Amino acid sequence: MIKKNYFLFTALMILTLVLSACGSAVKEEPTVVPTQVPAESSEASSEIDPAAYSGNIVTAGSSTVYPLAEVMAERFKEEGFAGETTIDSIGSGAGFERFCTTGETDIANASRAIKASEIEACAAIGRTPIEFRVGTDAIAIVVSSANDFLTDVTLEELGTIFSSSAVKWSDVRAEWPNEDILRFSPGTDSGTFDFFVEVVMGPLHKNAEGKADLEAAKKDILDSANIQFSEDDNVLVQGVEGSKYAIGYFGFAYYIENQGNLKAVALDSISPSAETAENGTYALSRPLFIYSDATILQQKPQVAAFINFFLTYVNEEITRVGYFPASDEALGAAKQALLDAVK
């Protein structure tokens, strides 16, 4: 009990010191509302010692968050963590199922916010998910480097390309080739898929009230011809690389890794970048999250330490991975939520 209290006290003190450098946190609609950083927080070192922790950390979820989580876990290990961290890339929805339904994981990685139904599932097993914003992603629309006709599309055209109403490229624009569209999409457990359906397909399917009918939008992409779904973004990359008539979408990091063989398509004449993702002018930019629970953080101090480490150093790693930093306000709110959870 003394050891446990020591770890919790240590985590609390470290977070208080870190937050003193970050200023007051601004709420960005987390599941647990963060409070303001105490004004009297003292100024001191924000060093976190991974070597002080051992035990296992189990995470699963978004394939988009996966490369970032992997880098942070590797750094945590390199700096002394004596335990083991498991990270499964299975999609945001499947990650929430493991976290909220079966209770198998300590952390859920997600490229979308948690749904109300998932929060209810968590509550049924005694968990209250806490949201931590860790970065920003832009979904890249990609074609093969051999593609010589597609450089820019409108949001409406992109929806049509992935709909069941278009079979050939010329069905979308008459001047495009009279060749079958070969589509590659993340699977239905992916937060990337959910986001794409909502933002791209949704506007093409309005109900009687003028609102997006997401079920109809989802059915439309599922019914489209010549489409391959995979939770493995590397499979999508290989598929798009294989034909000049192929098109796909996935997290920007996977495009950066493979840009020698792929081209990013501008959306409404705006290309994905740190600036366009942050200011929202690129329509397919979205926040990245990790989730945990206060009881987990209190019972497994290594999980609290890892999340603390993640939030403290993520902006030193995130651009190298291929994503864009979250704002100081978002990270400050995440750190405050963690501080509140381990009190």
pLDDT for the residue 265: 97
Indicate whether 208 and 170 sit together in one domain: yes
pLDDT at residue 17 tops 70: no
Q: What is the mean pLDDT of the chain?
A: 87
Indicate whether 43 and 128 sit together in one domain: yes
d(C-alpha 9, C-alpha 61), whole Å: 30
Residue 46: pLDDT band (50, 70, 90) is low
How many domains does the structure of the chain reveal? 2
Residue 284: pLDDT band (50, 70, 90) is very high
Q: Which of 42-46, 198-202, 321-325 has the lowest mean pLDDT?
A: 42-46
Burial class (CB within 10 angstroms; exposed 0-12, middle 13-18, buried 19+) of 330 = buried
Indicate whether 264 and 276 sit together in one domain: yes
205-258, pLDDT tens digit by residue? 999 888 889 999 999 999 999 999 998 989 999 999 999 999 999 988 889 889
Indicate whether 31 and 111 sit together in one domain: yes
Indicate whether 86 and 148 sit together in one domain: no
3-state DSSP: the chain helix, strand, coil percent, rounded to 5?
45, 20, 35
Indicate whether 280 and 321 sit together in one domain: no
User: Which CATH number do you get for residue 249?
Assistant: 3.40.190.10
| Average pLDDT of span 171-185 | 98
For the entire predicted model, the pTM comes to: 0.72
Task: Indicate the residue among 250, 267, 285 that finishes a domain.
Answer: 285
**Structure-model confidence comparison of residues 94 and 29, the more confident one:** 94
pLDDT at residue 25 tops 80: no
pLDDT at residue 113 tops 70: yes
Indicate whether 113 and 151 sit together in one domain: no
Residue 21 is classified by DSSP as H
d(C-alpha 138, C-alpha 270), whole Å: 12
Indicate whether 12 and 124 sit together in one domain: yes
Residue range(s) defining the domain that contains residue 132: 2-136+286-341
> Which DSSP string corresponds to 177-195?
-SSB-EEEEE-TT-HHHHH
pLDDT for the residue 6: 39
d(C-alpha 317, C-alpha 305), whole Å: 18
Between strands 227-230 and 182-186, the pairing is parallel
pLDDT for the residue 67: 93
Indicate whether 144 and 118 sit together in one domain: no
> Which DSSP string corresponds to 41-99?
PPP------GGG--SEEEEEE-TTTHHHHHHHHHHHHHTT--SEEEEEE--HHHHHIII
Indicate whether 132 and 18 sit together in one domain: yes
Contact 293, 128 (CB under 8 A): yes
**Structure-model confidence comparison of residues 233 and 278, the more confident one:** 233
Task: Indicate the residue among 285, 300, 319 that finishes a domain.
Answer: 285
Indicate whether 162 and 216 sit together in one domain: yes
258-267, pLDDT tens digit by residue? 999 999 999 9
d(C-alpha 247, C-alpha 158), whole Å: 10
Contact 84, 131 (CB under 8 A): no
Indicate whether 144 and 206 sit together in one domain: yes
Residue 42: pLDDT band (50, 70, 90) is very low
Spell 30-60 as b/e; 16+ CB within 10 A means b: bbbebeebeeebeeeebebebebbeeebbbb
Task: Indicate the residue among 251, 266, 285 that finishes a domain.
Answer: 285
55-86, pLDDT tens digit by residue? 999 999 999 999 999 999 999 999 999 999 99
Paired strand residues for 105: none
pLDDT for the residue 301: 96
